[in-house]
Amino acid sequence: MEIAPHEILDIEAIRRDFPILDQVVNGRQLVYFDNAATTQKPLPVLKALAGYYEGYNANIHRGIHALAEKATSAFELSRRAIQQFLNAAHVEEIIFTYGTTDGINLVAQTYGRRFLNTGDEIIITTMEHHSNIVPWQMLCEEKGCVLKVIPIDDNGDLILEEYEKLLSERTKFVSVVHVSNAMGIINPVKTIIEKAHAVGAKVLIDGAQASSHIDIDVQDLDTDFYVFSAHKLYGPTGMGALYGKRDVLDSMPPWRGGGEMIKEVTFEKTTYNDLPYKFEAGTPNIADVIATYTALEYINNLGKKNLAAYEHSLLEYATEALKDIEGLRIIGQGAEKISVVSFVIDGIHHQDTGVILDQQGIAVRTGHHCTQPLMRRFNITGTTRASFAVYNTKEEIDRLVQGLHRVRKMML
Amino acid sequence: MTINEKQDEIIEEFDLFDDQLDKTQYIIDLGKKLPPMPEQYQTDDNLIRGCQSKVWLHSEMQGTNVHFEADSEPTAQISKGLVSLLIRILSDEKPEAVASADLYFIDRIGLSSLVTSRRAGGLASMIQQMKQFATQQAAKNQTAAQSTL
């Protein structure tokens, strides 16, 4: 007999790793359902951060002393951990960034500016986060490229036939979100990548939401770029990574100039460092990079498959439980989803819903979730979004349902 | 009733409730009582900036007093309730009094986290827009008074 995920994972023990959850907000025990915005950090990650500053804070790479050596090796260990996390072929294919947005901008400003020209087409989707729209619009303005958008159906799923119609020899780049932050829908990125490659386009996958929920294998996906943020996978803020195929990264010019990214500087000419340092100018976010290793270790210890199975059970439970709320409609009802429920309630503004849930100690996100074009597609101005992580429970989902009953009672 | 007397009255009303949810319910109910605003005033120019939901504010002089009317999109009931409180306190008062009003009721009704944060519909922007109008009118009054000297 198959063992249910909650029997494999000791959720109560996991919750003890996240002391922030054990607090009273507005007179009620906190329910934290804003995990798609950022997850909480387990104690080992907090200890790793403090441990670096307490024990071996030093600038990395060029230092000759013991602390610098120790910091450098912890820093580079994290790069190896991310390589394994994504199953990248080479460690130098992992570039540290400030997060997903930073990674997308890096690719747009280097690959995009070097290789895209007037009339070239970039394909994105209706459900992109603004961070995967605006960098490409900026590039289009500068280089005269054209942005094309894959539409979605009423469930929120991409219409792949329309994608195929958009593809042509003019398509030079495809940048698609792996999992929609506003709806939780998982996109068929492997198919999208294959079709893009068939016309010779390069592909970037925005993995901000996917990385903590889905097993990622960049070699199997055959993606040219993959970006994610550590703070959405139990790691620190201000830290992310860009994966790029080595030959593609090699072909790209550096972006930010400064220390670390050079081989030799003279006033006449500077030669640039090799991968990955070519793209890592300046003192990096050392502490957060190091603590990301611990976050990945934490996820690996729990087992990503166990996490996904448990979170999926929360999603199913919530989807069913929310049927109890009259006038509630879930936005994004695609077949493949991670643990996000985004919804609107007839006659009630999402902002009011969020305020009244907060007064009951329940933290959700309301608004357009930085996906205004997607909201327009559904003819709404925003939703209320509850997103679940491994430390959440069915009892907490019951609290959400009770909270929403209260919202309706107050408003209608 | 002066602006401060009206504020004190509101503080007393909110003192009847211990629970934040009950206070919020009271705000919602006050919003429901706000007379609807004529559609001609629901213009982009009258939209309050900084609100997540749509709230319109119309300001005019009626005699020697400033007069405010407001409305929100139908679903944004907390914003509507909040703006109704401001209208009760600041509308039909002398511009000088509105411009210099110290709105201490916000901290005292025990909902400062609700009413000061942008979540709840930009109360700060509402106040700013009301005071801006009042300040302009007060300046006009002063100029007029000086020219008659």
DSSP string, A3-66: PPHHHHS-HHHHHHT-GGGS-EETTEE-EE-BTTT-----HHHHHHHHHIIIII----SS--SH
Residue where the block lists tokens 């925003």:
A382
Please pick, among B51, B106, B126, B134, the residue that the annotation labels catalytic: B51
CATH top class, domain A46-300: alpha beta
pLDDT at A259: 86
**B20-33 and A394-411 are packed helices; what angle lies between their axes, rounded to 10 degrees?**
30
pLDDT at A63: 79
pLDDT at B127 over 70: yes
pLDDT at B89 over 90: yes
pLDDT at A2: 61
Quote the number of domains for chain B.
1
Interface mutation target, options B19, B21, B24, chain A, most CBs of A under 10 Å: B21
Domain range enclosing B102: 3-139
- Whole-angstrom distance, CA of residue A106 vs CA of residue A113: 10
Task: Report which of residues A412 and A326 the model is more confident about.
Answer: A326
Q: Does B24 touch chain A (CB under 8 A)?
A: yes
DSSP string, B11-67: HHHHHT--SHHHHHHHHHHHHHHSPPPPGGG--GGGBPTT-SS-EEEEEEEETTEEE
Q: Please name the member of B20, B24, B52 whose beta carbon is closest to the beta carbon of A351.
A: B52
Express as a percent the part of chain A with pLDDT over 70: 98
Instruction: Out of A143-147, A156-160, B16-20, B61-65, pick the least confident.
Output: B16-20
Closest CA to A205 of A123, A292, A137, A113: A123
Average pLDDT over residues A307-334: 96
Q: Does B114 touch chain A (CB under 8 A)?
A: yes
Sorted by where each begins, the domain ranges of chain A are 5-41+304-411, 46-300
Q: Which residues contact A257 (CB under 8 A, 6 or more apart)?
A: A270, A281
Structure tokens at A77: 């260990």
CATH code for the structural domain at A5-41+304-411: 3.90.1150.10
pLDDT bucket at B57, cuts 50 / 70 / 90: very high
CATH number of the domain that B32 lies in? 3.90.1010.10
Quote the minimal CA–CA distance from B101 to chain A in Å: 27
Digit-coded pLDDT (tens) for A172-227: 999 999 999 999 999 999 999 999 999 999 999 999 999 999 999 999 999 999 99
Most confident of A59-63, A226-230, B47-51: A226-230
3-state helix, strand, coil in chain A (%, to 5): 45, 20, 35
Half-sphere exposure of A268 (CA within 13 A, CB side): 0
- Whole-angstrom distance, CA of residue B132 vs CA of residue B144: 18
Digit-coded pLDDT (tens) for A228-263: 999 999 999 999 999 999 999 999 999 999 888 888
pLDDT at A171 over 90: yes
pLDDT at B116 over 90: no
Q: Does B21 touch chain A (CB under 8 A)?
A: yes
pLDDT bucket at B112, cuts 50 / 70 / 90: low
pLDDT at B5: 97
Terminal Cα-to-Cα distance of chain B (whole angstroms): 31
A67, amino acid identity: L
* Whether the predicted model's global pTM rises above the 0.90 cut: yes
B141, amino acid identity: N
Digit-coded pLDDT (tens) for A68-101: 999 999 999 999 999 999 999 999 999 999 999 9
| Residue A370 annotated to the active site | yes
Q: With CB atoms and an 8 Å threshold, state whether B73 touches A356.
A: no
Domains A5-41+304-411 and A46-300 equal at CATH topology level:
no
- Whole-angstrom distance, CA of residue A229 vs CA of residue A235: 8
Q: With CB atoms and an 8 Å threshold, state whether A367 touches B52.
A: yes
Q: What is the side-by-side strand order in the sheet with A340-345?
A: A328-330, A340-345, A383-387, A365-367
